Amino acid sequence: MLLEVSGLRAGYGNVPVLRGIDFAVKEREFVGILGHNGMGKSTLLNTLMGRIRATDGVVRFKGADVTRIGAHRRSTLGMGLVPQGREIFPNLSVMENLLIARATRRGDPNGVIEEALEDFPRLKRLLDRRGGALSGGEQQLLALARCLCADPKLILLDEPTEGIQPSIIEEIVDTLHAVKKRRELAIVLVEQNLDFIAALAERVLIIQRGVLTREIPPSALADADTVSEFVGFAH
């Protein structure tokens, strides 16, 4: 197993958000996690990355217990995060946003960045722009490319379709398929966009009030009635 999570609890101050999460991700697997706003999706990814401290439970990555180590060390081990809201460095250029992902890594960054730009060719003509001057869709592509530059084995992907125009969503689906295959990546995607998650995930977990309640096959997402029964979505 690449990632093993057991009994994971976390929250903000005294407010618990995750109330015992258990799941595992194999190498090269694409797991989707579906849930409403406020069910703990982003908290889960931020806790896995080490940006929120776990109050209980264990996170193992490549067999090693990473529950208590900082985000920067998890990144070095091969975990990558594309956060909600994208968190592009607004005052760095697009090129610098990519370079900074290589800043603590050995070797010449240019080859890695060129490879990432091949995956996201739309960024090539934007390299000198300030990150903050890009559109939401362009920032999302940049956030994905930046994550890839850090050369992760596991990508945690937080609602990449939020506020993005449909044409770019399709582009992201195609790119993620290609990139995942070629780079042999595992991906954990949290989303509420059913079509997006159905197009990418190999299995889908439902999160409700900080607990993973069940697993469904992606094909079940096509049936709106089933989904609303599981998730409580009104579609």
Partner 1 sequence: MDRTAIVLIEMLSSISTLVIIAIGLAIIFGMMRVINIAHGEFIMLGGYIGVIATQRWGVNFWISILVIAPLVVGLFGVLVERLVIRRLYGRMVDTLLATWGLSLAMIGGVTMIFGNTIEGVSAPFGGVRIGAFSVSGYRLFLILVAVALLLGVLAVLRYTKAGLIARGAMQNPRMAAALGIDPDRVYMATFGVGAALSGLAGGLLAPLTGVIPTMGAAFIAQAFITVIGGGAAIVTGTGLAATLFGSVAKLVEFVSTPVIGDAALLFVALFVLRLLPQGITGRFFRRAS
Rounded CA separation 92/97 (Å):
6
Q: Can residue 70 be called a binding residue for partner 1 (CB under 8 A)?
A: yes
Q: How far is the CB of 125 from partner 1 (least distance, A)?
A: 18
Rounded CA separation 70/73 (Å):
6
Q: Which residues pair with 61 in a beta bridge?
A: 3, 64
Q: Can residue 160 be called a binding residue for partner 1 (CB under 8 A)?
A: no
Q: Can residue 90 be called a binding residue for partner 1 (CB under 8 A)?
A: yes
Q: Which two tokens stand for residue 194?
A: 């059913």
Residues 98-157 that bind partner 1 (CB under 8 A): 99-101, 103-105, 130, 146, 150
Rounded CA separation 142/127 (Å):
10
Build a one-symbol-per-residue string for 19-58: x at contacts with partner 1 by CB under 8 A, - elsewhere: ------------------------------xxx-------
Q: How far is the CB of 86 from partner 1 (least distance, A)?
A: 9
Contact 176, 83 (CB under 8 A): no
Least Cα distance to 225 among 213, 214, 234, 216 occurs for 234
Q: Can residue 96 be called a binding residue for partner 1 (CB under 8 A)?
A: yes
Three-state DSSP at 180 gives helix
Applying CB under 8 A, the residues found at the interface with partner 1 are 49-51, 70-72, 75-76, 80-81, 83, 87, 89-92, 96, 99-101, 103-105, 130, 146, 150
